[in-house]
Amino acid sequence: MIHTILLAVLFASISINPETPDLKENQKNFILEFTPKIFEANQSIHKLRAKVMEIRSGFLKDASISDHDEIYISKLSKAYGLNSFKLDDEKDHELLLKELNELLERIDIIPPRLIMAQAIIESGWGKSYFAKEANNYFGVHCYSKGCGIPPKGASDAGFEVKKYPNLEDGIADYMQILNSYSAYDHFRKTRANMREKSETLDPVVLAGSLTRYSQKGDAYVKLIRQIIHEFLPGDLEKLVDSLQ
């Protein structure tokens, strides 16, 4: 999901100063504009996760689930790529608990610095054609005619770059991809393991499970980590405060 030219430019722009981000004005503006949208998207996921945890807690306590919650969980399962849950599965307590646990593995936030780093890479700090024309900051492809914008000079590519009505929808879809596609199962399991150990979700560690996001593989992971190290040190919210 990354263009070779963008990769080369980004590698060339990285310096070796790990302490203070050396940001140009357009880079500061990009971080200031994009960060609130990231927090809003994560907040939506957090609320959804809290609801599933509430249902799970009630189920563990009473060994039952309401019809309303049953339908709600069934719809969520389908949305997140888990199609094993059926509307009569509340009779199978073990199966339902498994479904709830698997949902919680998928419905979780993504560290803001990881989201920001990928947006920087995939959109070239928001300068890419697809970011400007399609609100696509994450290099997301789609595969039906008219679903997006065909890549220039590659009309026979077999895909288009997905187009979104706004920035918020683009971020939400990117997060949905990481949280549901089979290619990112390792990402989700790594995150769940951090949760189990009550660890802070580490964007640098989680980046290691995104080799399938780009054809560049390990080089892509290295670039994510360099972007975080160079431009996004520490807490993103504190960085934003320092830039305002």
For range 214-237, the mean pLDDT? 95
Q: What pLDDT band is residue 1 in, cutting at 50, 70 and 90?
A: low
Q: What is the pLDDT at residue 168?
A: 98
Tens of pLDDT, residues 9-30? 454 444 444 455 889 999 999 9
Q: Which is more confidently placed, 234 or 92?
A: 234
Total count of domains within the chain: 1
Collect all residues with Cβ–Cβ distance below 8 Å to 111 and sequence separation of at least 6: 201, 202, 203, 206
Give a yes or no: residue 53 inside a domain.
Answer: yes
Tens of pLDDT, residues 44-93? 999 999 999 999 999 999 988 898 998 899 899 999 998 766 655 556 78
Q: What are phi and psi of 137, to 5 degrees?
A: -105, 5
Q: What are phi and psi of 194, to 5 degrees?
A: -65, -40
134: domain range? 4-9+24-243
Give a yes or no: residue 17 inside a domain.
Answer: no
Question: Which CATH number goes with the domain that contains 46?
Answer: 1.10.530.10
For range 160-172, the mean pLDDT? 97
Give a yes or no: residue 66 inside a domain.
Answer: yes
CA angle 211, 214, 216 (to 5 degrees): 80
In the beta sheet, which residues pair with residue 141? 161
Tens of pLDDT, residues 178-212? 999 999 999 999 999 999 999 999 999 999 999 99
Q: What does pLDDT average to over the chain?
A: 89
Give a yes or no: residue 85 inside a domain.
Answer: yes
How far apart are the C-alpha atoms of 243 and 32, rounded to whole Å? Answer: 8
Q: What is the pLDDT at residue 11?
A: 47
| Statement: residue 237 has pLDDT above 60 | yes
Alpha-helical runs (H) found in 63-159 = 67-79, 93-106, 112-123, 129-134
Give a yes or no: residue 159 inside a domain.
Answer: yes
Give a yes or no: residue 60 inside a domain.
Answer: yes
What residue ranges in the chain does DSSP mark as E strands? 141-142, 148-149, 160-162
Q: What is the pLDDT at residue 157?
A: 77
Q: What is the pLDDT at residue 9?
A: 47
Give a yes or no: residue 73 inside a domain.
Answer: yes
Give a yes or no: residue 18 inside a domain.
Answer: no
For range 129-144, the mean pLDDT? 96
Which one, of 197, 193, 194, 202, lies nearest residue 224 by Cα?
202
| Statement: residue 154 has pLDDT above 80 | no
Contact 77, 83 (CB under 8 A): yes
